[in-house]
Amino acid sequence: MSKYPTKSDAAWREELSEIEYHVTREKGTEYPFTGRYWNYDEEGLYCCVCCGAPLFTSAQKFDAGCGWPSFWHPAETAEITENVDLSHNMRRVEVTCTGCGAHLGHVFDDGPAPTGLRYCINSAALKLEKNPAP
120 is catalytic: yes
Is the Cα torsion angle 68, 74, 79, 82 positive or negative in sign?
positive
| Cα distances (angstroms) measured from residue 85 to each of 15, 51, 55, 61 | 27, 23, 20, 23
**Helix-then-strand count for the chain, H and E:** 2, 9
Distance CA 56, CA 128 (A): 9
Q: Is there a binding annotation on residue 100?
A: yes
Catalytic entry in 47, 50, 66, 120: 120
50 is in an annotated binding site: no
Annotated binding site for Zn(2+): 48, 51, 97, 100
* Active site (catalytic) residues: 120
Annotated binding site: 48, 51, 97, 100
